[in-house]
């Protein structure tokens, strides 16, 4: 089964809830946001797999040239900015309502409807890597969907450099410009058509702030194309840019994890002192490191998800000696899957910790690079390189639960 792209998931998020309500208005589900949470979990799983594959390739290349720029001095980087935490509007369950922020950022002559926010600030900070709101903006010229995403990517990582905040090589259906600003910020403007001759475009502005936080604003516009009359613009590029630059997003950024509070920073900081980190890559939710021990070099990866992402907490079946449930030093329940060879496929040593305050921490040690990918001299060792006890010590850190 093919994995859906972010754009396809977002279309599903917009269309599926309404379609389900239309055919089942009388059905009372166990939770009003069940569909939204299901879609979010599906996208999270798909994204973690994709980011892990990309980060493995990136970190191997980075390590082969002697280090990684993000943590080159051995210190814990932080991109904390000067913004202050302010009072916020919070929905039941810790969900922050982002509509008041967006309402202050859009042009005042229009109005917002069909809004949906996704930002749970009632969970540990490591899980708050992204906030988003989708809505329909309407004015005298018509209506357009509007999506705003606020995140704090770690600058300089391979994942960040491959993001849409940077312009790719020239493409027939994409116009893209990126400009650096004197205060260290950067502005990326993208206009994309799905097909030649279409009057419909996605306009997108990504503003990377001086504190490294990023505000991504997207809308769909109808513009004259070959053989098309087009229509009046609901929002101009200048207005979209103003939304991205608005200071109203400061409290959202302040509630998100800085670089040393994200998975990538925690993986670096919590790796045992006897294990040398050669290079790291990843993003807010996934971190991959090349580590070196007396036995050679190995891969160590970490990812976090919400506790509800994986309902299976026990070992499947009897485990057959390859899986066991353990209790970490802080009382957290965890599943250890020992490294093994299954029908020619190497399964790495892995630990999944089901932390009481929300994050589910997944650690893997000794995972081989993707099939066909080879960097001479990189993975010199055999086995996992780290022990289950070392993974247990990483997963037991209270820093995973930091508010």
* Residues 207 and 293 reside in one and the same domain: no
* Residues 66 and 101 reside in one and the same domain: no
* Residues 170 and 216 reside in one and the same domain: yes
Give the pLDDT mean for 232-255: 93
The model carries a pTM of: 0.71
Within-domain flag for 328: yes
Within-domain flag for 113: yes
pLDDT at 77: 30
pLDDT at 170: 78
**CB distance 135 to 218 below 8 Å:** no
Q: How does pLDDT run across 57-116, given as a tens digit for each residue?
A: 555 544 443 332 223 233 233 222 322 223 334 444 467 899 999 999 999 999 999 999
pLDDT at 129: 85
pLDDT at 346: 62
Within-domain flag for 28: no
Q: How does pLDDT run across 116-147, given as a tens digit for each residue?
A: 998 887 788 888 888 999 999 999 989 999 99
Q: How does pLDDT run across 347-359, given as a tens digit for each residue?
A: 778 999 998 877 8
Choose between 162 and 232: higher pLDDT. Answer: 162
Within-domain flag for 209: yes
Domain boundary (222, 238, 254) is at 254
Within-domain flag for 220: yes
Closest CA to 261 of 129, 354, 94: 129
pLDDT at 38: 45
pLDDT at 343: 62
pLDDT at 230: 46
pLDDT at 87: 36
Q: How does pLDDT run across 328-352, given as a tens digit for each residue?
A: 999 999 999 887 666 656 677 899 9
- Containing domain of residue 241, as a range? 81-254
Residue 269 has pLDDT above 50, yes or no: yes
pLDDT at 14: 52
* Residues 178 and 117 reside in one and the same domain: yes
Lowest mean per-residue pLDDT among 148-152, 210-214, 290-294: 290-294
Question: Can you tell me whether residue 48 is helix, strand or coil?
Answer: helix
Within-domain flag for 25: no
Domain boundary (254, 279, 295) is at 254
Closest CA to 198 of 223, 174, 220, 216: 223
Domain boundary (254, 271, 287) is at 254
317 pLDDT band, cuts 50/70/90, is low
**CB distance 400 to 359 below 8 Å:** yes
- Which tokens sit at 198? 């279409």
pLDDT at 167: 93
Q: How does pLDDT run across 147-185, given as a tens digit for each residue?
A: 999 999 888 887 788 889 999 887 888 999 999 999 999
Within-domain flag for 18: no
275 DSSP 8-state letter:
S
pLDDT at 138: 94
pLDDT at 84: 28
* Residues 384 and 242 reside in one and the same domain: no
Other CB atoms within 10 Å distance of the CB of residue 209: 24
- Percent of the chain at pLDDT > 70 equals 65
* Residues 52 and 122 reside in one and the same domain: no
| d(C-alpha 363, C-alpha 270), whole Å | 12
Helix or strand holding residue 203 (H, E) = strand 200-208
* Residues 222 and 297 reside in one and the same domain: no
Within-domain flag for 104: yes
* Residues 268 and 391 reside in one and the same domain: yes
399 DSSP 8-state letter:
G
* Residues 276 and 175 reside in one and the same domain: no
Choose between 88 and 8: higher pLDDT. Answer: 8
| d(C-alpha 317, C-alpha 336), whole Å | 14
Other CB atoms within 10 Å distance of the CB of residue 207: 24
pLDDT at 47: 54
Choose between 376 and 275: higher pLDDT. Answer: 275
**CB distance 146 to 217 below 8 Å:** yes
* Residues 196 and 232 reside in one and the same domain: yes
* Residues 186 and 87 reside in one and the same domain: yes
**Total structural domains within the chain:** 2
| d(C-alpha 299, C-alpha 60), whole Å | 9
- Percent of the chain at pLDDT > 90 equals 36
Q: How does pLDDT run across 38-65, given as a tens digit for each residue?
A: 444 444 555 555 555 555 555 554 444 3
**CB distance 283 to 154 below 8 Å:** yes
* Residues 350 and 368 reside in one and the same domain: yes
Here the CATH number for the domain that contains residue 188 is 3.40.1000
């Amino acid at each position: 089964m093919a994995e859906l792209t972010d754009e396809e998931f977002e279309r599903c998020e917009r269309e599926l809830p309404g379609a389900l309500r239309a055919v089942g208005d009388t059905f009372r589900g166990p939770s009003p946001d069940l569909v939204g949470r299901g879609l979010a979990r599906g996208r999270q799983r798909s994204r973690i797999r994709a980011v892990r594959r990309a980060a493995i390739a990136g970190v191997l290349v980075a390590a082969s040239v002697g280090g990684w720029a993000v943590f080159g001095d051995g210190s814990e980087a932080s991109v904390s900015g000067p913004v202050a935490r302010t009072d916020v509007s919070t929905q039941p369950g810790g969900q922050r309502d982002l509509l008041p922020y967006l309402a202050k950022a859009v042009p005042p002559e229009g109005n917002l409807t069909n809004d949906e926010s996704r930002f749970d600030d009632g969970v540990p900070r490591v899980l708050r890597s992204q906030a988003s709101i989708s809505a329909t903006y309407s004015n005298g010229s018509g209506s357009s969907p509007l999506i705003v995403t606020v995140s704090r990517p770690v600058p300089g990582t391979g994942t960040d450099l491959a993001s849409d905040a940077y312009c790719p090589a020239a493409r027939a259906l994409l116009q893209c410009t990126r400009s650096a600003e004197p205060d260290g910020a950067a502005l990326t403007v993208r206009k994309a058509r799905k097909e030649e001759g279409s009057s419909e475009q996605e306009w997108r502005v990504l503003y990377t702030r001086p504190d490294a936080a990023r505000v991504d604003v997207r809308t769909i516009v109808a513009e004259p194309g070959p053989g098309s009359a087009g229509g009046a613009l609901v929002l101009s590029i200048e207005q979209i840019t103003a939304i991205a630059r608005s200071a109203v997003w400061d409290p959202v950024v302040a509630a998100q994890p800085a670089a040393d509070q994200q998975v990538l920073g925690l993986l670096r900081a919590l790796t045992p002192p006897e294990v040398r980190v050669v290079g790291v890559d990843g993003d807010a939710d996934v971190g991959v490191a090349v580590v070196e021990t007396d036995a050679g070099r190995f891969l160590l990866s970490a990812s976090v998800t919400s506790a509800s992402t994986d309902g299976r907490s026990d070992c499947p079946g009897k485990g057959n000696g390859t899986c066991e449930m353990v209790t970490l030093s802080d009382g957290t329940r965890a599943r250890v899957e020992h490294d093994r060879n299954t029908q020619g496929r190497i399964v790495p040593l892995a630990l999944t910790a089901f932390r009481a305050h929300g994050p589910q921490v997944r650690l893997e040690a000794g995972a081989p690079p993707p099939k066909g990918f080879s960097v001479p001299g990189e993975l010199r060792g055999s086995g996992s390189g780290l022990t289950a006890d070392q993974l247990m010590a990483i997963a037991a850190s209270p820093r995973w639960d930091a508010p």
